[in-house]
Structures are given as C-alpha cells and as structure tokens.
Amino acid sequence: MEVEGSYLVARTLKEEGVEHLFFLMGGPNYEIINNAEDFGIKVTDFRHEQAASMAAHGYARVTGKPGVTTAASGPGTLNLLTGQYTAWADCAPMITLGGAGPISDFGRDGFQEVDQVGVFEPISKAVMRPTDPARYPEHISTAFRLSTSGRPGPVYVDCNEDVLYGKVEETEVPSATRVSGRARPAGDPDLIKQAVKLLSQSKRPIVFAGGGVWWSQAYDELRTLVERTGIPFYTSPMSRGLLPDDHEMSFPAARSGAFRRADVVLVVGTRFNWMMTFGKRIAEESKVIQIDIHGAELGHNRSVDVGIEGDAKIVLQQMIDQVESTGFESKAETEWIESLREADAARRERVAPLENSTQRPIHPLRLCKDLRDVMDRDAILTVDGNEILHFGRQSMPTYVPGHRLNSGPSGCMGVGLPYAIGAKMAKPDKQVVSLHGDGSLGMNVQDFDTAVRHNLPIIIVVSNNEGWTARVEGIRKPGRELGFTRFDKIAEALGGHGELVEDPADLTGALERAFDAGVPAIVNVRTDPTSRALSNFVGSKME
C-alpha cells in the first residue's frame, strides 16, 4: 500500500510514545495532524503558533518528555521561534515540525519561501531537512533521540510540501532505529571521593540543584543525599519543587546569604549563567563541586574545584554510596543550619505585614499569600511577568517536582498562560494556576479561548498594576502605562469565568469561586502600581 510522508511522520510520532500534538492548522502540515489524530494522538489547536510552541515546552517541563509542535510554512513556522528559543535556553526536549514549501521551488521565490533551517539552527540542539519521504521514520526517531540524550534540547525538522506529499510503498520504508535500555553516564569514582571529602570537611555547605536533576528524574537521590548529609539545598527558579519548599533543610528566605557564606557548594545540573551572576553569587573563596552531563559546562564562567561529568541521577547515587561507606557526619545540627533557620524565620516575620496588608490597591504579596492558602499542595504553578515574577518567587512555594514553571533563563514574557495549558494537558487531574502580570498576560491572552474550547479549567490570577514594571516617581518609563485592562470581562466573553477583585477582603472568595467554576477562569486583581519587587528583596539584610 502506498502511503504519504505525512502518514509516516505521524506513525513515527505514535511509535515514539507521543500523546499530544500542539499546532495551528495550515499547509502543508494538514495531513500530519489528521494522521496523528487517526493514530490516537490528542491534537490541540491554538490561536497563535507562539502559544502552541510554549505549551509544548510547558508540557515537557511537567512530564519530562518532549513536547511536539507543528505549524504552517513561512510565517506560521517562524511564529514558533520564540517558543523554540525558550526551550533551547531552558535545555528542554521538544520536537518542532515546521511546515515548509516544496524543495523543488527553492531559489525561485516560492510561496512563503524562507530558509527555516537556517533561522532555527542557532536555537536548536539539531536541525534536519528530510528529502525522501521513506526516511521520515529514521529522521523523526533520530530527532527524539537527539532531543533527549545528554543535555536535552529542542530539535527542528523542516517538513517540505513535496516530501510530505510524496508517496512510497509502506512495505519498502526502512524501520526506525531505536535504543533499548540506554545507559546513563556515571562519574569518575576518584572525583566522587574528592567531592564527598570536601563536603565532609566543610563547615557551611549547601547544595544548588537545577534542571539537570529534573530531566534525569534524580529528585529521590537528591532528597536522600540532602537528608543523609544534613546539607541545606536551593534550586534554580524553574526547578522549585525538586524537594518540597517546606523541607527541614530548605531555607529559601536565606538564599543569597547562604550562597555568600557557604564554604563548599555542590552544584548539580545547573549553569553559571546570568541568573547566577556567572558564578559570582557564590563567594570567590568558596570551594565548588559541579556535576553536569554536558562536560563543556564544567568550569564555564567560574572555576570549580571538582568537576564531575555524568548523569545527575547516577552521580548522586554514587555520592550517596560514598557517604555511607565513609561514615559521613551529618551537618543537620550545626550552627550553620541554625543560622539559616533563624535568618529564614526573621525574613518571614519582616514580610508578614505586607502579606496581610489591607491596603488598596492590593499589595502583590497579599495576593500571593491568599492564593497560596487556597491552592492544593500538589498544584502546578506557572508565573509570568516582571514584578509579580519576583513577588511570586519570594512567597509562592512548590512541593512537587515539575510543578513550577516560569520564564526560566530566557526571561521570556507571555509564557504563563501557554505553559498552564500544556501543564493541564499533561496532568488534567491537578490544579493548574498561572500567576500573571497584566502586561505579560496581554501577549497571549487570545489563547484563553484555546483553554475554553478544549475544556481545560486553568486558573489565571492577574496582578494588574496597570502597566509594565512598577511606577516610580521621578523616573520616566515610556510605554509603561497600560491602563486597567478588564481581563475578567475578556474571560467572560470567551466563555470562561471572570472576577474583578479590588478589596483584599474579597480575594479568598473570588479565588475559591474560580477553582470551583469548572471552566477556565481569570481573577483580575487590582494591585498597587508602586509596589516594587527588587531582585534583592528576599531577606535583604541577610543577603
């Protein structure tokens, strides 16, 4: 039987275990979507390709599996670019199937002709352009293998019209090649011993864990190491929840002070990028142990004392074994732990008046406090904006791995609502909340309609301070003022539930009604436009 290339793409997606496809319709990808649906893959259409790509990224962050997205040729595929960039910056696995014009028209000013492979290459782990429909199974399978091996990342596949519509005998199509039981790379045993020795000799150690722990599903090993050694831990913002924020070794309000005062820092699966001030957040005299599956990351931007190349899950288990064999003395009852506990408590006490403030417009920390009080412990939270992103970082805890998503190292705005859609599709039985600024919500608010049409009861909570960033007297901010947007009315117009909140006494009731509505909801909260969330705000004296 003759089959088209589109059929082979969809069949291979199914064989790779794909359950969801995020897209916006158009040529030449129609039949990829139709065939995917025929194979039992859930297909979800969006109002904008950017939101589709970001939702695929959000799905990957929650499941640990590649999100898959596709769009029409030219502008449609180029609209996927921002989502591809956020996944690339986040080192998240994703497969982007870009619709493209026929290869036979290249160089002739064909319809929507643009070098999509060249455009996507700088922000992709790999790019490919299959030229023979019979080889789609090989190429698509390779894309998944590249996306998920080593340090994850997005892979772009150019899907050209004449190749997608090309027909071949199905019996003559080579089977895709795959690996069963792929081994994880372990760390050098001598370096493991050196690392554990440094930690055992330390007086003020901390663990700093990031995305590499999540992608390797190493949170159980992280917990075991932390609890066995009594070493306090911190995570990168996108990786909150690897261990519960209320764990006995968690002191988030003492974060910056802990980094400045630590004498040994174990860095697992995260980079010394701008979020870590290129490694300068850790005191220059501190000893650093770095674990990363990507060898080139070791010592990048900051020298390290012990660099271990390997998979986080395997290397952490090696360290646990070494700890047990050496009789490691726990740090749990030391002056170091007590100092962090006191600093954490003092910071919480200082901020309590703002979290319980009755001021109008509402203080964003009061909004955060009332929201966290009504959310389930295992709720998935996305946070998107500027001021509210920092306020949320300070005051919104996460207790479950993979249940916290924010803009990550790209700093991209507009991700919150699409991430929430992807998260709800990944785990429909969990509460999914997106804490948004009003500016950032305006970027992709049209895809609230997508949540309504696909019956995805996400909750959008807007800290609406009427513009971009905080209003500061005497400082010019051209374009800052947006006015007060009635997002609650937009929700109602699109078939969802909307509430406007201007009095802090009404917050809890409005949030509870939104959770009980059974449809997508927007709670639009008028917040103080002068409240500033400075990057050093958390425990400023300690930090």
In the block, tokens 């449609």 appear at: 76
What pLDDT was estimated at residue 534?
58
Q: What is the pLDDT of residues 307-364, one digit of tens each?
A: 999 999 999 999 999 999 998 999 998 999 999 999 999 999 999 999 999 999 999 9
Query: 323: domain range?
Result: 189-339
3-state helix/strand/coil string of 280-293? CCCCCCCEEEEEEC
Residue 538 lies in a domain: no
Report the percent of the chain where pLDDT is more than 70: 98
- Does position 541 have pLDDT exceeding 70, yes or no? no
Residue 179 lies in a domain: no
What pLDDT was estimated at residue 540?
31
- Does position 536 have pLDDT exceeding 60, yes or no? no
Helices (H), 251-399: 255-261, 312-326, 335-355, 364-374, 387-395
Residue type, 224: T
Least confident of 97-111, 212-226, 259-273: 97-111
Residue 333 lies in a domain: yes
- Does position 106 have pLDDT exceeding 80, yes or no? yes
Least confident of 169-178, 369-378, 457-466: 169-178
Q: Are residues 487 and 361 in the same domain?
A: yes
Residue 182 lies in a domain: no
Q: Give mean pLDDT, residues 96-107.
A: 92
Q: Are residues 160 and 200 in the same domain?
A: no
Residue type, 13: L
Dihedral angle of Cα 82, 409, 400, 155, to the nearest 10 degrees: 50
Residue 472 lies in a domain: yes
Q: Are residues 197 and 312 in the same domain?
A: yes
Work out how many domains the chain is built from and give that number: 3
| Contact (Cβ atoms closer than 8 angstroms) between residue 8 and residue 173 | yes
Q: Give the integer Cα–Cα distance in Å for 16 and 166.
A: 22
- Does position 60 have pLDDT exceeding 70, yes or no? yes
- Does position 113 have pLDDT exceeding 50, yes or no? yes
Q: Give mean pLDDT, residues 73-81.
A: 97
Tell me the three state secondary structure of residue 448.
helix
Sort strands 167-169 and 2-4 into parallel, antiparallel or unpaired: antiparallel
| Contact (Cβ atoms closer than 8 angstroms) between residue 491 and residue 521 | yes
- Does position 247 have pLDDT exceeding 70, yes or no? yes
Cis omega (within 30 of 0) on the bond before 152? no
Q: Give mean pLDDT, residues 56-63.
A: 97
Residue 351 lies in a domain: no
Q: Are residues 279 and 150 in the same domain?
A: no
Mean pLDDT, the chain, rounded, equals 94
Residues in CB range of 115: below 8 A, 6 or more apart: none
- Does position 407 have pLDDT exceeding 50, yes or no? yes
| Contact (Cβ atoms closer than 8 angstroms) between residue 424 and residue 256 | no
Q: Are residues 108 and 204 in the same domain?
A: no
Least confident of 214-218, 372-376, 407-411, 423-427: 407-411
Residue 345 lies in a domain: no
Q: Are residues 322 and 371 in the same domain?
A: no
- Does position 486 have pLDDT exceeding 50, yes or no? yes
Least confident of 188-197, 223-232, 391-400, 413-422: 391-400
Residue type, 354: L
Q: Are residues 40 and 75 in the same domain?
A: yes
Q: Give mean pLDDT, residues 377-389.
A: 95
- Does position 542 have pLDDT exceeding 60, yes or no? no
| Contact (Cβ atoms closer than 8 angstroms) between residue 541 and residue 519 | no
Q: Are residues 108 and 159 in the same domain?
A: yes
Residue 543 lies in a domain: no
Q: Are residues 66 and 9 in the same domain?
A: yes
Q: Are residues 162 and 307 in the same domain?
A: no
Q: What is the pLDDT of residues 265-310, one digit of tens each?
A: 999 999 988 778 787 889 899 999 999 999 999 999 999 999 999 9
Residue 279, domain CATH: 3.40.50.1220
Q: Give mean pLDDT, residues 44-61.
A: 98
Residue 20, domain CATH: 3.40.50.970
Q: Are residues 321 and 393 in the same domain?
A: no
In the block, tokens 């050093």 appear at: 536
Q: What is the largest CA-CA distance in the chain?
A: 74
